[in-house]
Structure 1
Amino acid sequence: MQVSTEPAVTTEVTPDGDLGPGPDWDPWSDPQVIEELKAQDIPVLEELSAAQHIIVRDGFLPDADARALRGVFDGRFADPRVIRPERFLWDYWHVPDQYTLVRTQAQVYFPEDLYNMLEAALLSYGESQLGCRSISPIWMSYYVDGCVQELHCDNPHGPFAFVLSLTTDWEHREFSGGETMILQPHVLNYWRNYDPRKGLELQHLVTRVPAPFNRLTVFDPRFPHGVRQVHGTRDPRKGRLVLHGWFTEPAPFFDGPLDPADAEAVLAEGLQPLYEALDAVSGLVTGTLIARVTISGADGSVSGVSWLADTLVEVPNHDRAAAEALLEGRVLPRLRALVQNEMRDCLTAITFPTAPAGGDSVLTLPIVFE
Structure 2
Amino acid sequence: MIRRQHVAADFFPEAEAMRAAYEEKVGSAYRQSVQWQYFCDPRMYTYLRTTPQQVFPLPLWRRFDRHLRQWCMEHAGLMPTGEPNLHLMVNGCTLGLHSDFQNGTLGFVYSLTRWQSRKFAGGETLLMRDGVPSYKKHHVHGEALYELVPAQFNQLLLFDDRIVHGTPTIQGSMDPLEARIALVGHLRAASPVVTGPLDEAAAREVVTGFHRALAEPLKLFRDVQGVMSFRLAVAAGGGVESVEVLTDNFVTAQSGYESDDEVAAARALVLDAAAKLRFPAAGGPSKLVAPVLLPLPELRPIEIAVAHAGRPALLREALKAQLKEVEALGFRIEPQGDDFAVREPLAGTIRIESHRIVASFDAPMWVPSQREHFQAALNEKLGMLARYAG
TM-score by length of 2: 0.69
CA distance in 2, matches of 1:72, 1:100: 24
From 281, 303, 311, give the equivalent of 2:249.
311
Cα contact 1:255–1:361 (8 A) shared by 2: yes
Unpaired runs of at least 5, structure 1:
1-6, 9-51, 320-332
Higher relative contact order (CA 8 A, sep 6+): 1
CA distance in 2, matches of 1:138, 1:275: 34
Unpaired runs of at least 5, structure 2:
295-366, 368-390
Cα contact 1:253–1:363 (8 A) shared by 2: yes
Cα contact 1:271–1:347 (8 A) shared by 2: no
CA distance in 2, matches of 1:292, 1:198: 46
Alpha carbons of structure 1 residues 144 and 184: separation in structure 2 relative to 1, 3 Å: same
Superposition pairs for residues 32-43 of structure 1, below 5 Å?
none
Superposition pairs for residues 71-220 of structure 1, below 5 Å?
71-80=20-29, 82-84=30-32, 86-87=33-34, 89-168=35-114, 170-187=115-132, 190=133, 194=134, 196-197=136-137, 199-220=139-160
Cα contact 1:131–1:252 (8 A) shared by 2: no
Q: Percent identity?
A: 29
SS in 2 for 1:75: helix
TM-score by length of 1: 0.73
Cα contact 1:136–1:247 (8 A) shared by 2: no
Aligned to 1:290: 229
SS in 2 for 1:185: coil
CA distance in 1, matches of 2:231, 2:281: 18
1:364 maps to 2:309: no
Alpha carbons of structure 1 residues 349 and 149: separation in structure 2 relative to 1, 3 Å: same
Cα contact 1:182–1:226 (8 A) shared by 2: yes
| Number of equivalent positions | 292
Deviations 1:338-358 (A, max 9, x none): 1111111101111222331x2
Cα contact 2:77–2:246 (8 A) shared by 1: no
SS in 1 for 2:216: helix
Cα contact 1:183–1:223 (8 A) shared by 2: yes
CA RMSD of aligned residues (A): 2.2
Alpha carbons of structure 1 residues 291 and 198: separation in structure 2 relative to 1, 3 Å: farther
From 178, 181, 198, give the equivalent of 1:258.
198
Alpha-carbon offset, residue 196 of structure 1:
2.1
Aligned to 2:324: none
